[in-house]
Structure 1
Amino acid sequence: MGPVNWFAFVAAAPDLARTVEERFGAFTHHVLSTLRKDGSPRTSGMEVRFLNGELWLAMMPDSLKALDLRRDPRLALQANPGAGTGMGGGDVRISGRAHEVEDPETKAAYVQKVEPPEPFHLFRTELTEVVRTYVEDDTYLVVEIWKPGEPVRTVRRR
């Protein structure tokens, strides 16, 4: 199965999806990784929005991260771990692809909900993997992995 939108992820793994949304909702800024022209990684600060069954990324005009995604849609997104060492809810990462949305109606609906500074690039994401890593009972490192078409797989390590 290929990449899916946020709605499909929520339907397939509702508990993990709820945790992921909570982790991203805990802070405003997160880390987006894109690929530069030469294939090396670029990391950038990023705000994300979960609206109408989609995970949205909005960016300033001609920002390097937007140009990267136009050229190569692959991305990784990591939730802000927060201050200090206590990552309540765990470390959360999303891998996937971003597709620019230029439809005026879709962008207008986004503006009504979010009110970003205009003009802007708007990208809709498709997920290829979601991973949550956390410590359980101060004993186990737990990794939850979800991929489209598969159930959540949980690995516990001592």
Structure 2
Amino acid sequence: MSWAEFREAAPGFAEAVEQRFGKYPHHVLATLRKDGSPRLTGLEADFRVGELWLGMMWGSLKARDLRRDNRFALHANPGSDNGMDDGDVRVSGRAVEVTAPDVLARWAAGAPDGGTPEKFHLFRAEVEEVVWVGVEREEIVLRIWRPGHPLRVIRRGDGDAPPDEESAH
């Protein structure tokens, strides 16, 4: 599912996730190495034209990982302290490489920093799961969205009571 389709399915949640990613420029991308072990690298997430774009240096290890196995997870920068006021946000799915010269040129022309190299890899995210974890009052709150399902909200206290789960429509 494209980012635009996710925004249509869960508009308020998508906006909150974009704002959380927008708080810092650098985030952490998880890809899979040839041997199946995880690789974590830095990345700037780019939300434009209804898509989540993953741009990276030509020939980078993360680009080679995604070309071989397109599964990824992107974790929003948690910030410099332990407050987590805006929660912990993750997006996972599959990265589809974009090779059309006209799309690459349009993306490079609109890049926020204007410093796009002549050759680069560009991937469009196909979203399979978005998770936000935060603390509200005395509870840990998880918001989980997957294509074809309503937004799930799970609230957990620190006692023995089972978590409370609801679906937000």
Percent identical pairs in the alignment equals 56
Deviation at 1:86, TM superposition (A): 1.3
Q: What does residue 122 of structure 1 align with?
A: 122
Matches within 5 A, 1:1-158: 4-114=1-111, 115=114, 116-137=116-137, 139-158=138-157
Kept in 2, the 8 Å contact 1:78–1:92? The answer is yes
Deviation at 1:88, TM superposition (A): 2.4
Cα deviation, 1:105-152, whole Å, max 9, x if unaligned, reads: 100110110032221000001000000000001x00000000001110
Distance, in Å, in 2 between the alignment partners of 1:52 and 1:69 is 22
Distance, in Å, in 1 between the alignment partners of 2:84 and 2:128 is 24
Q: What does residue 166 of structure 2 align with?
A: none
SS in 1 for 2:135: strand
Higher relative contact order (CA 8 A, sep 6+): 1
Distance, in Å, in 2 between the alignment partners of 1:107 and 1:119 is 9
Partner letter of residue 10 of structure 1?
R
Partner letter of residue 119 of structure 1?
K
Deviation at 1:15, TM superposition (A): 1.1
Q: How many residues align?
A: 154
SS in 2 for 1:11: helix
SS in 2 for 1:59: strand
Greater shift, 115-124 or 144-153, is seen at 115-124
Greater shift, 108-117 or 91-100, is seen at 108-117
Greater shift, 83-92 or 123-132, is seen at 83-92
Deviation at 1:57, TM superposition (A): 0.5
SS in 2 for 1:15: helix
After TM superposition, the score normalised by the length of structure 1 is 0.96
Partner letter of residue 101 of structure 2?
P
Higher Cα Rg, which structure: 2
After TM superposition, the score normalised by the length of structure 2 is 0.90
Partner letter of residue 130 of structure 1?
V
Runs of 4 or more above 4 Å deviation: none
